[in-house]
Amino acid sequence: MTISTILFPIRWTPAGTSFFDFRNAGLYGDCNDSGSCTKSEPLADGRNVTISASNPNTLYRDNADGFGIRGNENDEVDADEVLTIAFQGGWIPTFLGITDLFKSGDGNDDGEEVVLRGFLDDVLVFDLKGNAHDGINGGWALGSGNGEIVFRLPGVEIDFLEFHSVEASDLGNESNDEFSVALIAGQAPSEVPEPGCAGPVRDSIARPGPADASSQAGLIAPAVFNSRLPASRFAGGINCRPLPIGT
């Protein structure tokens, strides 16, 4: 089973989920134009988060979009830029709020895309690509009209996330695929019971309501992100630690 089988649209907000809201000027406002910035997020029980721009760039931040990188498109992540977000003590991300990710017009007619990589102990845990047409605008109130897209994430523990654009020279060198990062929701590792690695893969973070037949069957609905890792990396199930790259 590939990692992509556990990413599904939401029509509800999971209870007890904490989050980092990078549009909060009172907390993150002075991160603007810095190379790296560390803050304690009260909406995530005071957990420290460090947001960094790839050298030699600096961060861009505003109240509508969240974080981007100053450079080519001055307020978004594009070209060979990399936005890194690291979590003290680890984090289990379940939802991602992206802005400036358009289906057409400002972006490609096929939809702008975001590449997201998650790492734990410097081991690549997931490598995902999300398209503006695949996200859903429900569950989290990000607004509308500015390319606001919400994605469901795997719900596995990571230390840090890397955000890449498919404009990057090693990712296809496509054009007009820029975005900003507004919100990351999830839970601390200590808040989630360790699932077993055998049997059907189930969502241990938050499950759909009874109306979702797939949850009644113990299965997870179709993905909105596409996995960029082979299924063999997750042979023990998505809630298990993946094998190191190259095995």
Would you say 37 and 48 are in contact if contact means Cβ atoms under 8 Å apart?
Answer: no
DSSP 3-state percent helix, strand, coil across the chain (nearest 5): 10, 35, 55
Q: Is the per-residue pLDDT at 75 higher than 60?
A: yes
Lowest mean pLDDT, pick from 33-42, 128-137, 213-222: 213-222
Domains of the chain with bracketed CATH: 7-193 (2.60.120)
Mean pLDDT of 41-68: 96
Rounded distance, CA 235 to CA 240, Å? 9
Of 13 and 242, which is predicted with more confidence?
13
H helices of the chain, in order, are: 25-28, 213-216
Q: What is the pLDDT of residue 240?
A: 33
Rounded distance, CA 136 to CA 97, Å? 10
Residues in the chain, total: 247
Rounded distance, CA 204 to CA 128, Å? 20
Cis status, amide bond into 56, omega within 30 of 0: yes
Exposed (0-12), middle (13-18) or buried (19+): which is 239, by Cβ within 10 Å?
Answer: buried
pLDDT grade for 16, boundaries at 50, 70 and 90? low
Mean pLDDT of the chain: 73
pLDDT grade for 48, boundaries at 50, 70 and 90? very high
Q: What is the pLDDT of residue 102?
A: 86
Q: What is the pLDDT of residue 142?
A: 67
Q: What is the pLDDT of residue 174?
A: 74
Q: Is the per-residue pLDDT at 186 higher than 70?
A: yes
pTM of this prediction?
0.74
Q: What is the pLDDT of residue 121?
A: 95
